[in-house]
Amino acid sequence: MSRQSYNRVLLKLSGESLAGDQGYGIDPGTISAIAAEIKEVVDAGVQLALVIGGGNIFRGLAASSKGMDRASADYMGMLATVINSLALQDALEKIGVSTRVQSAIAMQEVAEPYIRRKAIRHLEKGRVVIFGAGTGNPYFTTDTAASLRAMEIGAQVILKGTKVDGVYSADPKKDPSATRYDAVTYLAVLQQGLQVMDATATSLCMDNHLPIIVFDLTTPGNIKKVISGQTIGTIVQGD
């Protein structure tokens, strides 16, 4: 069974996905491989925007649980996402992909400010737009930023690239009997606490009928397969 193909998508990457096997920081080989896949998709005429987490550098939630002020910790996490955005921009530009980084926190020396109409114009011109610094507000995750930006730019779907091949009924590493879903509803994700996106991001997508596809980013070629409508990973949508 195939799904529909998409021509404007938002790809959400975790910060950890840039770390490769080293577990922290930015692995040049991993980021180059992701950039090469993105180039393939953009060359096929797909309009692509990106939101990257910052967990490979700094996790605001983890720091606040150890006593740091939550707002300060979240701002530090936002700055980590900008570092990742600039790294991916560099990797993309090196292979000839025109890219813009837009930051929700003003830092005009390194990135454009986030302006919705400008972002859409970049996409129409075939540029990859990387949204940095989350929503620009503490207490919101990069998952929520991805949902928000996807809706603002009129994306047809959020693609969430992870290290697992979809959404499971339980953690497959801990529970061998966990089953993988091909499709699941927003409500089931919220009620069962499934590991897709946080509740705010999921609710936002549910209210605006924006599907989320969770797929395995570590398998080469998967980004293109998902966008072209092949049944990979798990799609989260309404009834």
The model's pLDDT over 102-146, given as tens digits with 9 standing for 90+, comes to 999 999 999 999 999 999 999 999 999 999 999 999 999 999 999
The closest of 218, 21, 43 to 127, measured between CA atoms, is: 43
Give the other-Cβ count within 10 Å of 200's Cβ.
Answer: 15
Q: Which residue has the higher pLDDT, 207 or 239?
A: 207
Domain spans in the chain, listed from the N-terminal domain onward: 8-237
- For 157-210, the pLDDT digits (tens) are 999 998 889 999 988 888 889 999 999 999 999 999 898 899 999 999 999 999
DSSP state of 114: P
pLDDT at 171: 85
User: Which CATH code for domain 8-237?
Assistant: 3.40.1160.10
In this prediction the pTM is: 0.95
What pLDDT score does 239 carry?
82
Q: Which structure tokens are listed for 61?
A: 């939630």
- Residue 185 has a CB neighbour count (10 Å cut-off) of 14
Q: What's the confidence (pLDDT) of residue 195?
A: 80
Query: Given this model, what pLDDT does residue 1 score?
Result: 53
